[in-house]
Amino acid sequence: MRFQRDVTTQGPSATATSTAAEEPDSVDSGSEMDWSLSVVHHQEEDFVGARKPLPAGTALSLGRDASCLGEGCLSSSRISRHHAELVAHADHVRIEDKGSRNGTYVNGQRVTDGRDLVGGEIIGIGPVLLLVNRAPHRFDVPESTLFVGRSHALARVLRQIELFAPGPGPVLLRGETGTGKELAAREIHEKSGRGGAFKPVNCGGLTGEVLHSELFGHVRGAFTGALRDRPGLFASADRGTAFLDEIGDAPANVQVSLLRFLDDHRVMPLGGDSARLVDTRVVAASNVDFEALIASGRFREDLYARVSGCTIRLPPLRERVEDIPLLVRHLVRTFAGKDRPVQPEFMLAMLLYRWPRNIRELAAVIRRAVLEAPVEDPIRASPELMAALPRGVRAAVDAAPPEVEACPRPDAAGLRALLEKHRGNVAFTAASLRVSRNTVYRWLKELDISLEDYRPPRS
């Protein structure tokens, strides 16, 4: 597996370039954007996603006594009582280490004289990773059965889906490869209330004749090999949704037929002599520069005007950093068949990498990491996987504090409480204590505790 090499880390030093098409849309232009602090990695999963708004002028102390992110969130013995301080300004957040024993880190680099953060940076204090970013002071994330995440960027998409889904008109989805355009199309279909089928087709790579037949169907004998009538996508999706992926690659003759269909919703199969009226909703998707295609004559301006009235931009994963821990957990569960803890250094790498191929690339990395990690161990990056990361990410992870420090043995009640919480899972118990599984097994023996008392009964 090879990562893209033209990008490095999040934050102000990122080398990835932006284009006008990548700018966030203005659906929330009326919302006041504040700085925020979010938990993106914690040995106790319940804390992941906790968020604290930081309006300009806010001074926030981070340490063992702080409860700003939830009672007990920063209670690790590796975090000092007064560990670090954040001060939010209009255009940046200032972080200073307050003489902590184990140091404060930003993007894997130790903070010495203080540092100004401008959004997207990862703060490390003890075993906890925190994200500094901008978001409205308050926002709700609509429910979704398909998307995973709680970020403001995803919430904006889901609100637009809820807004456009009930209507009959076409919707255009724009976004980079791997951002979930087909998922968004399926979500629109599910929330539309339409009782018909969801039918996808990729318009790229098909000749005009083949694509026209895919969309509109054909009758028997229409061409050599047409041995029977075929209804086509639009007829098959009657009272449902037709998803036209990569519509920007549709040949010119198909564009003409699409425009006519969007106007009258009639389907004339190839070789047929009568048209059929259908109630098929069209959702299209592409990542092409439509303006350039129109200027060069390769895409019809009137067709673009027809499909782009309701446009949703799918944000790249680098704009959804807050969602990466939730996506990692979901993908680990998918590929491992169960929850497994994740090594902090591995999560730091996932948070700092820019993901040019987005969630599709993240899924490939997690699949490999699950396969390479021993069954009962936390998910970690193998040397080969780390070697494939861009140099800036490797340097940040290498500079981060070591994963495991000596941890005193908890008393019997404390260990029993952790075993009960994790249902006897030694890997999760070890990860929460920052020790090896062998150490947990040794403590169980010393304290005469049986794992079977905490594991669920076998079916």
> HSE of 354 in the Cβ direction (CA atoms, 13 Å)?
20
- Residue 446: the pLDDT is 87
Check whether 90 has a pLDDT greater than 50. Answer: yes
Per-residue pLDDT tens digits for 91-117: 999 999 999 999 999 999 999 989 999
Distance CA 254, CA 216 (A): 10
Q: Sorting pLDDT into bands at 50, 70 and 90, what band is 242?
A: very high
Domains, the chain, ordered by start: 34-135 (2.60.200.20), 152-313 (3.40.50.300), 320-399 (1.10.8.60), 412-454 (no CATH)
- Residue 229: the pLDDT is 82
Distance CA 349, CA 455 (A): 32
How much is the pTM? Answer: 0.82
Stretch 139-148: mean pLDDT, rounded?
95
The answer to which of 161-175, 243-257, 423-437 has the lowest mean pLDDT is 423-437
30 to 25, 101, 158, 314: CA distances (angstroms): 12, 43, 17, 20
Whose structure tokens read 């889901």? 158
Are 370 and 407 in contact by the 8 Å Cβ rule? The answer is: no
Tokens of 167: 């209507």
Whose structure tokens read 């989805």? 173
Cα of first residue to Cα of last residue in the chain, in angstroms, is 38
Instruction: Indicate the helix (H) or strand (E) that contains 109.
Output: strand 109-110
- Residue 9: the pLDDT is 41
Q: Provide, rounded to the nearest whole percent, the portion of the chain with pLDDT above 70.
A: 89
Helix, strand, coil % (nearest 5) of the chain?
35, 20, 45
Distance CA 113, CA 152 (A): 32
- Residue 221: the pLDDT is 62
* 3-state secondary structure at position 374: coil
Q: Provide, rounded to the nearest whole percent, the portion of the chain with pLDDT above 90.
A: 65
Tokens of 380: 């970690």
Q: Sorting pLDDT into bands at 50, 70 and 90, what band is 124?
A: very high
Tell me phi and psi for residue 286, to 5 degrees.
-170, 160
Distance CA 105, CA 9 (A): 15
Tell me phi and psi for residue 241, to 5 degrees.
-135, 130
Stretch 70-74: mean pLDDT, rounded?
91
Q: Exposed, middle or buried by CB within 10 Å (0-12, 13-18, 19+), for 427?
A: buried
Sheet strands side by side (includes 84-88) = 59-62, 84-88, 93-97, 115-117
Tokens of 62: 């981070």
Check whether 16 has a pLDDT greater than 60. Answer: no
